[in-house]
Structure 1
Amino acid sequence: MKFHGPAPDNQTTPCTGILLTNLGTPDSASVRDVRDYLREFLSDPRVVEFPRPLWWLVLNGIILRIRPKRSAAAYRKVWTDQGSPLLVISREIAAALQQSLAQRVDGSVKVVLAMRYGSPSIAAGLETLRQANAQRILVLPLYPQYSATTTASTFDEISRVLRQWRWLPELRFINHYHAEPGYIDALAKSVQQFSATHGECDRLLLSFHGIPQSYADQGDPYADQCRITADRLAAALDLPQDRWAFSFQSRVGRQPWLQPYTDKTLQQWGAEGVRRVHVICPGFPADCLETLEEIGEENREYFLSAGGSEYHYIPSLNSTPTHIEALTDLIQRHLWRDA
């Protein structure tokens, strides 16, 4: 292996780097770009735990021939003039954090956004920090709840990139913040503010992205951390048990995923006569396809078709001041003392 990346330039003022990461997005809503994105995403053994030779045949012979067209149609529903909502909002979060940290942290801090899949890549983000003379790097994946499919995969890619560097910075990694008081408070305030504008709901549903049940059975703590987030948010809102529930969305394939399922829960509520529902997705710090299209549109139809009367999706925290404050506090506590 040929190592690259010289030591930091002593003529450049050292800084502390914040590598803010998210899942990723296609470069456009075209079928070709969606196919390229899905190929990278679904080729990750952390995401799909399946024998590699057989999975390669399934992925390339079946899935990538069918799914990109359907996914591209969904992406077109949420695509903006600036691009993918996830990328646009993640950039806004990074910019707001840069400004917030500059006001509250002694020393030079540089925030750089990177995506686990697609652009801007983790390799590009780390290189930007290297050129900025970041001698220490704090990694913050925007996944409040830890899962091997997301957080650990991010660590894998960072490790892969840094294995090719000759000089290595000091490195810290925040692997979850599912019970952080600031994060819970920001979620609670978003629910309260939404209800003040749109009226109270009969029930609040907290929908998290799902993972296969087998992953949890083998030790992935994701489901437990989602339950803790849900319980603490309900407590912060002082909700009685019959006024809220949590569920898991985005399942694919035939194997069991974490339950209860979001779509089935909403259909059941509609059939039971629940009239007004609000849905929030605490595991998604930035709005994306899974929140805007799957929750905002697809699951709305499930609830209304089953007999419900009114359905509202509460937006993700995005770049709201309470979210930026919570993330700033989190970063500050993990920074080196003399940062």
Structure 2
Amino acid sequence: MKQAIILFNLGGPDSLNAVRPFLFNLFCDKRIISLPNPLRFLLAKFISAKRESTAQKIYEQIGGKSPILENTKMQAEVLERELNRTFLSRSQTRITPERAKVFICMRYWHPLADEVVKNVKQFDPDEVILLPLYPQYSTTTTLSSIENWQKNAKKHGLKCNAKTIHHYHDNKDFIEAHVNLTTKYYKLASKIGKPRILFSAHSLPLSVIKKGDPYALQVEETVKLIVKKINIKDLDWSICYQSKIGPIKWLEPSTENELLRAKADGVPVVLSPISFVSEHSETLVELDMEYKAMIKDEYYFRVPTLSTDPVFIKCLVNLCINHS
């Protein structure tokens, strides 16, 4: 049986010229802006034009493009290798055909669902597994990617058994991977003083949460499980939210405010990006440059994203094998 794993991620511009169309695709998503068309289309045109220059300056700081595709490719390669190694070890014969192939599908820039569906159809799998690189479920990320995939699968006549992994915010291997990395940086920070761990997640408008989106609850559950497993008495920690845009109310407290509070308290900060599993502009610029500048260098310890961490890859492998 051949298995196609569709690895969903946000995507990012691959050049400065791609910034405006990337932003347009983002803001034209009905799961991001719920206005009906043509209003949503016109608003997306306006916002993408207005934000283009600001966003280009962000990407200029990291080489003129987003690194998210390269990072996701590394994750896909390791996941595919480990999946096929697992299938081979379980096989009764010494030689088996390729069992699993991992396809990357970005939501707002290439490779987009329309082109990925065609490649999957050519691969002709017996089963498709939809695996978002969003550990916590949100209508703005997980659901948006799945709906877009299903629309394109129908358009191109991709008909095979499809299973969806909606979230893994409480998966034991996912939690363990975070515990291992966070503990490592906590020990480094402890040489200066008693650290405060800031678990930073991408923010969401409160209006989305009020409609029943479970994202914030799942972020909280993830963090509580990590804190419990770290098992340090009187651990100083906080959940905070980053990457807010626009004047509407978003999830709080903001990462920026929590950093200012830590600075005022004179404690070293261990900052863990809890909702991102790949490095991109919101970790490499926001966390590593903008937020780091707010704290003295020796007081700021940024935990890397899980990326190709072996325990995290083990989590993804088991999700693909044990899906239901």
Shared fold per TM-score greater than 0.5? yes
Counterpart-to-counterpart distance in 2, 1:160 and 1:324: 28
Deviation by residue 1:50-107 (Cα, 9 ceiling, x = unmatched): 354444444323x223311111111122238xx6321111000000011100111257
Give the count of matched residue pairs: 313
| Residue aligning to 2:21 | 36
Q: Return the match for 2:147 from 139, 156, 167.
A: 156
Deviation at 1:199, TM superposition (A): 4.8
Answer with 98-107 or 225-234: which moved more. Answer: 98-107
Note the 1:16-95 alignment, pairs <5 A.
16-28=3-15, 30=16, 32-61=17-46, 63-79=47-63, 84-95=66-77
Counterpart-to-counterpart distance in 1, 2:40 and 2:120: 35
Secondary structure of the residue aligned to 1:207 is strand
Query: Contact 2:118–2:156 at 8 Å: present in 1 too?
Result: no
Counterpart-to-counterpart distance in 1, 2:107 and 2:177: 25
Answer with 284-293 or 157-166: which moved more. Answer: 157-166
Secondary structure of the residue aligned to 2:7 is strand
Query: Contact 2:27–2:48 at 8 Å: present in 1 too?
Result: no
Counterpart-to-counterpart distance in 1, 2:227 and 2:37: 41
Counterpart-to-counterpart distance in 1, 2:77 and 2:144: 24
Are 1:246 and 2:230 counterparts?
no
Counterpart-to-counterpart distance in 1, 2:236 and 2:157: 56
TM-score, reference length from structure 1: 0.87
Query: Contact 1:110–1:129 at 8 Å: present in 2 too?
Result: no
Counterpart-to-counterpart distance in 1, 2:162 and 2:252: 36
In structure 1, runs of 5+ residues without a counterpart are: 1-13
Deviation by residue 1:215-267 (Cα, 9 ceiling, x = unmatched): 11110000000000011111111144551111111111111101111111111
The residue type equivalent to 2:172 in the other structure is P
Change (3 A) 1:56 1:111: closer
Counterpart-to-counterpart distance in 2, 1:167 and 1:246: 41
In structure 2, runs of 5+ residues without a counterpart are: none
Note the 1:219-234 alignment, pairs <5 A.
219-234=212-227
Are 1:301 and 2:293 counterparts?
yes
Answer with 173-182 or 115-124: which moved more. Answer: 115-124
CA RMSD in angstroms comes to 2.0
Query: Contact 1:296–1:312 at 8 Å: present in 2 too?
Result: no
Counterpart-to-counterpart distance in 1, 2:220 and 2:201: 10
| Residue aligning to 2:208 | 215
The residue type equivalent to 1:284 in the other structure is F
TM-score, reference length from structure 2: 0.91
Are 1:145 and 2:127 counterparts?
no
Are 1:287 and 2:276 counterparts?
no
